[in-house]
Each structure stands twice: as C-alpha cells, then as structure tokens.
Chain A
Amino acid sequence: LRLIYTTTAVQRKNVGASGPEKYTEAFIKKQIEEFNLGKRHLANMMGEDPETFTQENIDSAIAYLFPSGLFDKQARPMMKHPTEIFPEQRKIQWGEDGRPFHFLFYTGKQSYYSLMHETYEKLLNVQKYQDQLTAQDLPPQKEKRNLAGSRWLTKIELEEMLLEKLSDSDYSRFIQLLQKLMTLPCGDIEEEYIQKFSKVVPAQLQKVVIEPLKYDERGVAFSTGEGTRKTARATAVVYDNGSGKITVNGIDVLHYFPVLQDREQLLFPFQFLDRVGKHDMVCTVCGGGRSSQAGAIRLASAKALRSFVTEKEVEFMRQAGLLTLDPRVKERKKPGQEGARRKFTWKKR
C-alpha cells in the first residue's frame, strides 16, 4: 500500500520555524519522486491518462476511493505535492569559514529584525522627503487611501513569510510601525512596500451573485430560491402581482402547517420587506420535521426575494439574518454519555 500523505496539525503549527532541518533535502526529493510515481499509479487505477492527470483529478480520485464523513476538510485523506505539505525550512545560516550570511544573525530573530530595520529605513526616507518638500515650500500630498478594503497580514501569515517564530508583542510592534508609516502625509512613496504586508478584503456581498428576474408565459415576473435547515431541503418560486397565496408540495399552507409558529416563519421575509400581500409562492420541500421545513422554506423565499429588491434592502435582509444558512445540526451522541451532552446519572456510592 502506498503511504497516504496526511496533513500537519490542525492549528497550522509553523513547522518551518520550530527547528533547524527536520526534513533534509534528500528526504523531500524522495517524497517528490514517490508523489509523482503515486500520481501515475492513481491515474492508471482510474483509467485516465497519466500524462494529463491534474491536481483536481487527484483530489476527486482520492475522494472517490476514500470517502470520509469528517466535517473538517483538512482532516480527510489528501494527496498533495510535498512542497505544500512539508513547509519551507531554514537552511544552514553560515558559510564554510563559519561566518554567518546575514548581518543580524547573532540577534536570534534575523528575518524579523531585518524587516524592522528596512521598515524603519523607509520611515526615515519618508521623513527626509517631507523635510525636502517643506524646505521648498511645497504642500504635502494628501491622497485618501482605501482603509476599509484592506487588512494587515495576520501573525501566522507573517511567520510563514519570515520562516521564524514571532511573539505577540513583536507582531504588534511591527504593525504599529507600518501604521505609522502609512499615516505620514508623504507615505505614498512607499505604497509598494506597504502593499506587501496588506491584503485586500472584498466586501462579502460582492461574492454573491443575485440572479435577475425571469418571466413566465403569462408575463408575470418570478424568481427561485433554495434553502436548507437541519435535514430539510426546500425550493421556492416567488411570483409577482400576487395576493399572498402560498402552496407547499401542492397543498395549501394552512393545511400543511397547522401550527401558527411555522406560518409566521414563512411570512417573516415578506413582512420584513412590507410585501405581505403582493407575492404568490409555490414551494417544494422534503426531509426534516415541521419546524426545520418551515425554516428551509423561509431561507429559500428570502433568497428568491433578493431579485425583487434593491441592494440596500438586500443588505438589511443580510443583517437581519434572513439570508444566513443556520449551521446547527443534531450533535452526535458520544460513548460514555447518555446523549450528546447529558452524562449518566452520578451516584455517590
């Protein structure tokens, strides 16, 4: 049996920084050869062409051969190139005569301190440039930077970049230096340098594509939405120019959901948008129980209503929690306990 590559710790320990030479170069070369051989064997097994077997094909093949019900994607069996699994290691820091390569080697944290040194040098450059401008009586440039759309690198990302362990105070000091550099009036000169340490954060809404309205034979606008809750799956079709009729699985809502609470859940998206009597709805739902089916239809109808409504109202719906999938599922029962959380009765003797 070929060795299946497993992941490093779930918390993404920075293996590159913890010790010198845990993985020698020869070891990694061997792993790469084994990976390539294993890739060809896998392609053979699946009946595909070994030459054009991409990483996506490998992932789908492994998922087919070793199905796993584990929630965490990182915990499932995976087969990746060794450079992705074994993170970069620091090689020997000094030459033949014993002299270290880096001038800050004897501090212990050479990459971090050299980074601070460079950043401070940029700061001094900016101050010198500012002084030159004031000497020539030119006003300092003021350009507004988009502060909301970007974030600094996290501590783990910085550790990966430097291949060195950092402490929290080190990291906060570095971020303070960067912020100081950014807030200076003539900080635009060093934009490129600062961009190396910032990441763009796209607003959440931009990722989700809202479908446009469709028109059926009668000329009435409609739109579909899908929703899930626990084990229930629902699809809802919301029609315009309606009178507030709701049909579920071909049955009227009053007969399908006799309980008031479920019908309130169905009406909530319409009530939020003040469109209670204006839309018709036809839904299909399967799985789950009474309450989870109601929740699934609520999510499906809210998603369908996005196409009828302005962007601001969509943002309001998102903040009200109408568009969020409820992630709660039934927790598994553990051995040694009566239920998921309930323990057996404790008897003193």
Chain B
Amino acid sequence: DDKLLSEPLSHPDFFNVKELFSLKDLFDARVHLGHKKGCRHRFMEPYIFGCRLDQDIIDLDQTMQHLQLALNFTAHVAYRKGIILFISRKRQFCHLVESTARECGEYAHTRYWQGGLLTNAHIQFGPGTRLPDLLIFLSSLNNVFQPHVAIRDAAKMNIPTVGVVDTNCNPCLITYPIPGNDDSPTAMELYCKLFRMTIIRAKDKRRQSEVFNELR
C-alpha cells in the first residue's frame, strides 16, 4: 500500500502528461490571446510575452511549464482518489464543464456560489461531508469580473487550487496558475480535453497498480 502511494512521487513526470499537448496545439486553440492593455492585471505582467495593437499576448513557453506542473498535480490527486471540483462561472461553457466533470467521474460547480459551501459545509450539507481535495478553475473570475470567492475559501480551508488565469485575473492565491485564454471556445475545449485525459489516465493507472498488487 505504501509503495503504491510513494512510487509515483519519485518520478518528476510519472504520468507522462507532456505528450498530451504541444506548443502548436496551444497556439491553434488561441490560448495565447489575452485581453486589451487596459484590462491587464499587475501580477500577470511576468506571464505576458508582449502587446500587439493594444492586445496582450501570453508567453506560451511559460504556459507550457505551468500547464505541465498543473496536469501532473491533478494526475497525482486523481491517482490518490481525491475529490476534484471543476469551477467556471462562464455561462457559455457551463454545459461543457459539467459534461467533462461527469465523464471523468468528478464534480463540477458552474452555478451561483452560495457563501458557505466550503467554509460552512457541515451546516449547508449534512454533518460529516468530505470537502473537495482539488479545485480546478477553468475561469477564475465570476460574472462581475471579480476574483471568484472559491479561490479565497480554498486558501482558507487549505485546499490546493489549479486555475486558468487570463490577463485580467489575479494569480496570487492560486497554487498552480496556468496563464492562458479563458474566453475562446477552442481554448476551453482544449483545457477540458486535457484535464479529462489526465484524470482518466491517472485513475486507470491506479486500478492497474491495485490489480498488480493483488496478483503478487
């Protein structure tokens, strides 16, 4: 049992997430496109490659590194049977995100966030609820262009977060930010596909390892 859990931690990329995406895929899905210069958040400046005709372009090399770290982390969480919660407050992609979560066997929240869901869980749900072990933000702003409340709540409850941060978002409290576009449909479909494949891969690997252990 201990070997099952400690073995993946010794490799830097146990689940080989690097092969799932390439720079060209990110470029074709228009992940590098940011908002206009006026919407730029101060803390996103390190991740921005440059500005062309007032529109910010995100540095895809940094995005590649951050994406690899984030996917690796989600794979490890899924391997250890953690609860993953997808969050996105974009109305266009609500259905897409919910279907992705359902196909993975994980959970989604793309609706209005009631105040005490994480911090007041024992009263909102019954006593003895298990909170999510990872939050994935496919869009870290809510409908009024302010940082989603769940980022702050997860930081309060010591829950790690993975989030796609656009040029107008605050990447401070997110543990594994992924600088990238969160407004184009192609970009969102790419992220959903990547997360779905990593989670399914990690769960399959866990099942295989358990079967191997039982055979010995």
> Smallest CB–CB gap between A333 and chain B, Å?
48
Taking CB atoms, residues of chain B closer than 8 Å to A107 are: 109, 111
Question: How many inter-chain contacts with C-beta < 8 Å in the A-B complex?
Answer: 48
> Does B101 touch A at the CB level, under 8 Å?
yes
Interface size counted on chain A using CB atoms at 8 A: 21
Q: Is B130 a contact partner of A98 (Cβ separation < 8 A)?
A: yes
Known contacts A103-B102, A104-B98: A97-B109 contact under CB 8 Å: no
Q: Is A20 a contact partner of B83 (Cβ separation < 8 A)?
A: no
Taking CB atoms, residues of chain B closer than 8 Å to A121 are: 95
Q: Is B107 a contact partner of A106 (Cβ separation < 8 A)?
A: yes
Return the contact of B129 from the options A94, A104, A109, A124 (Cβ within 8 A).
A94
> Does A93 touch B at the CB level, under 8 Å?
yes
Return the contact of A92 from the options B98, B106, B107, B126 (Cβ within 8 A).
B126
> Does A105 touch B at the CB level, under 8 Å?
yes
* Chain B 115-138 interface 0/1 with A at a Cβ cutoff of 8 Å (1 = within): 001000000111001101000000
Q: Whole-angstrom distance between the alpha carbons of A183 and B117 in the complex?
A: 37
Known contacts A108-B114, A113-B111: A103-B126 contact under CB 8 Å: no
Q: Is B130 a contact partner of A103 (Cβ separation < 8 A)?
A: no
Return the contact of B125 from the options A93, A104, A124 (Cβ within 8 A).
A93
* Residues from 24 to 55 in A contacting B, C-beta threshold 8 Å: none
* Residues from 66 to 96 in B contacting A, C-beta threshold 8 Å: 81, 83, 85, 95
Closest to A117 in B: B98
Taking CB atoms, residues of chain B closer than 8 Å to A328 are: none
Return the contact of B95 from the options A92, A94, A100, A120 (Cβ within 8 A).
A120
The 10 A-B pairs of least Cβ separation, nearest first, read: A98-B130, A20-B126, A103-B102, A107-B109, A106-B109, A107-B111, A108-B114, A103-B107, A106-B107, A117-B98
Interface-central residue, A92, A97, A108, A109, by most chain B CB under 10 Å: A108
